[in-house]
Structures are given as structure tokens and as C-alpha cells.
Amino acid sequence: MLISQGYLLGANMIILILKIVLKRIKTKYTHISTLHFSNEKKMKPILSYFTLLILISTGYTEIQVVNDCELLIVGGSTSAFGAMMSASKLLNTSVCLLEPTDWAGGQLSAELLSAPDYAGFVLHDNATNFTLNVAEINRDRVNRNPLFAQMLDVLGDTGKCWVSPWCSIPSLFHSQAILPVAKNARIFYNTVIKRVGKDSTGRRITQVDAIQRTPKQSEERCRFLSEELPDWYSKTDSDYFTKTELSFTNFKFVVEGTSWGEVLALSNASYLVGLMEKFDGDTSGIGNSTCGQSFTIDFLEQIKETPTEEPPNPLPPPTGGAHYTLGEMTWQRIISYRRVNSSAPDSQSVAVNDITIQNWAGGNDYAKEFFFLTPSETAQQRDSDQWQGGVNLDAIRNAERLAYGYHYWFRDQAPAQYANRTVIIRSSAETGTCHGLAKLPYLRESRRSIGYQNYLMNLTTITGIARDLHGYIFNDRMCIGVYGVDIHFMNGCSYPPYVHEKYTVVPYYVPLRAMTNRDIDNLVVIGKTMAQTFLVNAAVRLHPVEFSGGQAAGVASAYAVQNNLQNVADLLQEAHLGRVQSLVKQFTPMSWTINGTRYPDD
């Protein structure tokens, strides 16, 4: 329910001021001072009129209070979308999702990466001659989240790419796979979180303030994210947006589903970012917070039938210049890598009108600056009420320049038969932006929670040998996943020795403990913000695991709301855990089926 606070509060304030002023009037006005406000209700409409005039003249922004969301999911990620879909089945419209763009789905849509990564490796034990086909296990329908599988089946593999079994055009995936299943969901689009309020104990989030923007039909120039992001977080109307301040109250639990870990930062909850761990599982936070994984701003590239002129590059090179490389790949191989539309017969060849997602380590991976501000810089932005995501705008700006430069470089590298035929797709209908770059950067990490009782999901629980079949089976397991430890290193950063070691990941389980925070009782953390180490995140950050974890967390959060629990950790109690897990199983697998046998079989 939306309640307009502006006029009513203004009228109440004027009455209060009048009372104070009248009490202080001198003796010669005593006949006025005897005035009583027994008819305040009748006066309020009149005073509201004058309040309106005052508020308009002072540029006052009306605040709308939303007080009927029992579960508030602060989103932007694939995991947040998964959480909304499962929680809504149990709580209906009392689940609210805050989505920073107008395309829900995170990696799958706004980040322009609708080519989900599935583990594609096979493990072999030489000593026992035992082979574990992880790729086959991971793609077995029985081990996949049913809703995620259903969504991927809508378009199938229209690109014949080689990075994934399912590659499709992001805009079509959004319109044909995401929107139909979310049509009854309560989503606050184009809404970013601005501040967080807590109760007197400091352990419960009681208020979340946000800013929702409505685009104007503007003839102003096209803006890149680095230029536009501060506008998102400003409550003041601009040439591009009309703003509405929203204040969410009366909820019971909050789900941290942002891509940037903004709820963790704004609530002053314990978190790690980048290389703050000296060893896997270290919670001291004394490591390096200025280095971590590189990030990418994706775009769509198309091969035209005939040579086509491109407008000049609108951006200068990134600071310090750029170095692009195909690596060991051919030009054609990079086209088919994350290709989302093709008439080619297979993933080895290319064809006219091929469309590919450009997400290439030697191209638009930006590795010179860390995406996130340091914890101290983040706290300063929060405490000064100047919140803009706690991210490095210079890094985003240089990543945009790198991405555009890569397109023009890649175009110049084309074989003779494709010379001057590749273009960046600048259609807002296909990319969601006027410039063709993704709405949001594709991130490989976020701020990571430190969980209940200092818990971090660590590497020992997801690694092993082929004969082990699977990782550690937690008693509070919520979902399953598998992918290798995949790190995109930054330039000029010194990584601890343990990060460079080679690790063998087996099919693993994600526990409920990883979805907690040690400081905030009613906060559920999901996706890249889970309580996990730097290395574990590198194996858990992919689309399928994010979505499955979100689905599980949505169920757990809804259960906590329905049963009037006060603390996420209460779900770990025997009285609740089994019931939660029974519900989770209805949405996403919690056991691995390997060679026809379930592990565990419960």
C-alpha cells in the first residue's frame, strides 16, 4: 500500500509550529494565545493547501511509504529473480522486488549474458582409472532447476555457441522467457536502494529507502552508465528522469539480492570484498580490498551481409590505453563463443547475420581498476548520505571505453571475407540501451557476507577427486551446483599464493548458513553476496547456481515470514530445518543424481 506522506506531514508540522509560536506570543496577544486546536482535522485540508504551495516552492520531493511487503527482495541479480519467483508462490503479492533496471534477471538480461555457463569438464583418477563426467551430470535434467530449465527451453540454443548448451538473444530471453513467468510478480522497476534503517538493537533492518526513476521522453544525448549512475541515486528530477522516493517499512525479512552487495554495505553488516582473505576462510578482513576479479561490459556484435560503415568510436581509449588479443582463438571462434543467433550448421563455423555476445578476456574484460570502492570509501559514501552504489565510477567509465575500443579493434581483425561487416548493435529494442553496451556490467564477484557465527563456505566443501563423486553434504543444504574455480585476474595485483593453486571442484552443495549474516538477524544473503570465500565464489557465481540458490533462499525467507521467525539462524533449528528443506525440494534439487543414484537419497 502506498501512503503519500508529503501533505499530511506538512499539515501536521504547520500545526505543531503554530502551537509553539502561539505559546510564545507576548501578553498583548493573549486573546490569540487562548486559541485551541480542537478542530485540527478540519484545519488540515486548508493547511495542506498552503503546505503544497510551500513544498512546491522549496522543491520538496514527495515520499511514498510502502508498508505491505512482508518480504523485501533488493535485487538486480539472477539470484534475486529466482528468489522472487519461489517466494511469490508462497506469499503472493506480499513479496516485493526492487529492480535497478527495467529488465529483471541480472546476468541473463540486464548484463547481456543470456548464455548460461555450465560445467563442461570430466574428472579422471589415474590411480583407480575412475572417470566422473561432471559435464554430463551437470546437464542431466534431474539435476537442473525445473523453472530455470523451463525458461531455457523457451528459446533453446538459437546461437549454436560453444560456451553453453543454451545461447539466445538477451532481449528475446527477457521478453519470452522472463516476463511471462514474472507477469504476476510485484516488481518495482528502475529502483535503487538509497539507505537502510535499523531498530534500536542494530540487528534488524526496519526500513529501506529507495529511489524510483521514470524516464522522460527526452531528446537529450545518449548517456553511458558511468554518466547516468549518479542520476539514478539522486532524488532530484533531471532532464532524463522523474524521481519518486519510496520508503519500505513493516517488512519482516530482507533478501540481499543486489549485484553489488548494497544492503550489506548500507546496513553496516560484516562483509569481505576482493582479496581481503589472507587464506581461504579468513574472516579477519586484513587483506587487499583493492584487487579481485576483473569485470566486463558486454555488447552484441553482428556480421552483416555486405560491408557496412560504422560511425566513429564515440569514446576515447581507457586511461593508460588498451591491449587487445585473440589469444589462442581465431576470429571466427570468438564469434561463435557466445553466439546467440546463427544459421551456421555448427559451432565451428560462422554465417551472415550471426549475432554474438562479446564477453572476451582479451577484449572487453576490464582488469586495471577494481569495480568496488574500499570498505572505508564505501562507509564514507554511506555515512555522508551520498550513496551511489559504493562502486568505482572511473572503473566503469574506463570499462566502457575498453568495450567500445574492443569492438573497433575486433572489426579490424576480421578475415578478408568479413572485412568491415561487423557492427555493434545499438538498437535499444535489442540491448535495452541507446549506446549498445549492457545496462549493467557483468560482475564475477560482489561484497560477500560473513555469516552466522563467522561462517564462510570454504574450498574444502566443494573440492575432491573423481572417486569422491560429490562435495561435503551439509545437514542444512539448500541447493546443488558445480563449476570450476574461474578467476579473471586483474593487472598489477598481487594475489596470495593459495589463489594461484589448481583446485578440482566436484558436484557440491550450498548450505543455509551461507545465506546468513552475523550482524543482521532478518537479512538473507544470496548469489555473489553469500557468506563464501573468494575462491568458492569463483565456482558458485554462475547463472544456474545463482538461480537455484535464489529459489532456495526465497522459500526459506517465505517460511520465516509465515512462521513469524525473528532470525534467519532460527531456520537452522531442528524444528524448522526439515520443513524448510521439504519445501525447497519442490522448487530446486537438493541432491545429486550420479549414475542413477541420489546423493544423499532422502
DSSP 601: -
b/e code 527-541 from CB counts within 10 Å (16+ = b): bbbbbbbbbbbbbbb
Residue 12 is which amino acid? N
**312 preceded by a cis bond (ω within 30 of 0):** no
Treating both helix axes as pointing N-terminal to C-terminal, what angle do 393-412 and 225-232 enclose, rounded to 10 degrees?
A: 150
Q: What is the mean pLDDT of residues 98-102?
A: 98
Q: Do strands 63-66 and 2-4 pair parallel, antiparallel, or not at all (unpaired)? A: antiparallel
Percent of the chain, pLDDT > 70? 89
* Predicted confidence (pLDDT) at residue 2 exceeds the cutoff of 60: no
259, 528 contact by CB (below 8 A): yes
What pLDDT sits at residue 4? Answer: 53
The whole-angstrom separation of Cα 212 and Cα 241 is 9
**What residue spans of 253-330 are helical by DSSP H?**
262-266
Domain boundaries, the chain: 2-60, 71-111+171-291+444-464+475-484+505-599
Radius of gyration of the chain (CA): 26
Q: Do strands 339-341 and 355-358 pair parallel, antiparallel, or not at all (unpaired)? A: antiparallel
How many Cβ atoms from other residues are within 10 Å of residue 220's Cβ?
A: 9
C-alpha cell at 435: 549506446
Provide the pLDDT confidence category of residue 62 given band limits of 50, 70 and 90. confident
* Predicted confidence (pLDDT) at residue 3 exceeds the cutoff of 60: no
Q: What is the mean pLDDT of residues 60-73?
A: 90
Q: Do strands 205-215 and 241-249 pair parallel, antiparallel, or not at all (unpaired)? A: antiparallel
What pLDDT sits at residue 105? Answer: 97
Q: What pTM value is reported for the model? A: 0.90
- Residue whose entry in the numeric block shows the C-alpha cell 546463427: 342
How many Cβ atoms from other residues are within 10 Å of residue 57's Cβ?
A: 8
Give 415's Cβ-side CA count (13 Å radius). 9
The whole-angstrom separation of Cα 349 and Cα 162 is 11
C-alpha cell at 279: 587464506
Provide the pLDDT confidence category of residue 42 given band limits of 50, 70 and 90. very low
- Residue whose entry in the numeric block shows the C-alpha cell 543454451: 166
The whole-angstrom separation of Cα 236 and Cα 242 is 8
Strand order, beta sheet including 355-358:
339-341, 355-358, 299-303, 422-424
Q: What is the mean pLDDT of residues 388-407?
A: 98
CA distances from 257 to 117, 444, 445, 524 (A): 20, 14, 13, 9
Q: What is the mean pLDDT of residues 395-405?
A: 98
The class of domain 71-111+171-291+444-464+475-484+505-599 in CATH terms is alpha beta
Q: What is the mean pLDDT of residues 517-545?
A: 98
- Residue whose entry in the numeric block shows the C-alpha cell 546467440: 340
The whole-angstrom separation of Cα 150 and Cα 104 is 17
What 3-state class would DSSP assign to 141?
helix
What pLDDT sits at residue 165? Answer: 94
Q: What is the mean pLDDT of residues 480-492?
A: 97
**Termini Cα distance of the chain:** 42
Q: What is the mean pLDDT of residues 503-524?
A: 98
The whole-angstrom separation of Cα 217 and Cα 202 is 42
DSSP 177: I
Residue 366 is which amino acid? Y
Determine the distance from the C-alpha atom of residue 37 to the mean position of all C-alpha atoms in its chain, rounded to a whole number: 51
b/e code 368-377 from CB counts within 10 Å (16+ = b): bbbbbbbbee
User: Which residues are within 8 A (CB) of 128 and not within 5 positions of it... i.e. 6 or more apart?
Assistant: 467
Provide the pLDDT confidence category of residue 92 given band limits of 50, 70 and 90. confident
User: What is the CA angle 342-347-353, rounded to 5?
Assistant: 20
CA distances from 377 to 370, 384, 502 (A): 13, 11, 33
Residue 596 is which amino acid? G
The whole-angstrom separation of Cα 602 and Cα 599 is 8
What 3-state class would DSSP assign to 286?
coil
The whole-angstrom separation of Cα 114 and Cα 108 is 4
Q: What is the mean pLDDT of residues 97-117?
A: 97
Would you say the C-alpha torsion 93, 99, 547, 259 has a positive or negative sign? negative
Q: Name the residue among 44, 24, 41 with its Cα closest to residue 32.
A: 24
C-alpha cell at 247: 520508503
The whole-angstrom separation of Cα 395 and Cα 407 is 18
Average pLDDT score, the chain: 91
Q: Name the residue among 469, 551, 464 with its Cα closest to residue 510.
A: 551
What pLDDT sits at residue 219? Answer: 62
Provide the pLDDT confidence category of residue 39 given band limits of 50, 70 and 90. very low
How many Cβ atoms from other residues are within 10 Å of residue 31's Cβ?
A: 8
User: Which residues are within 8 A (CB) of 186 and not within 5 positions of it... i.e. 6 or more apart?
Assistant: 69, 88, 93, 95, 96, 97
399, 282 contact by CB (below 8 A): no
- Residue whose entry in the numeric block shows the C-alpha cell 573497433: 408
Give pLDDT tens digits for 536-567: 999 999 999 999 999 999 999 999 999 999 99
Least confident range of 151-160, 207-216, 218-227, 415-424: 218-227
What pLDDT sits at residue 221? Answer: 77
Percent of the chain, pLDDT > 90? 88
The whole-angstrom separation of Cα 469 and Cα 573 is 29
Provide the pLDDT confidence category of residue 352 given band limits of 50, 70 and 90. very high
What 3-state class would DSSP assign to 295?
strand
The whole-angstrom separation of Cα 451 and Cα 454 is 5
The whole-angstrom separation of Cα 422 and Cα 408 is 9
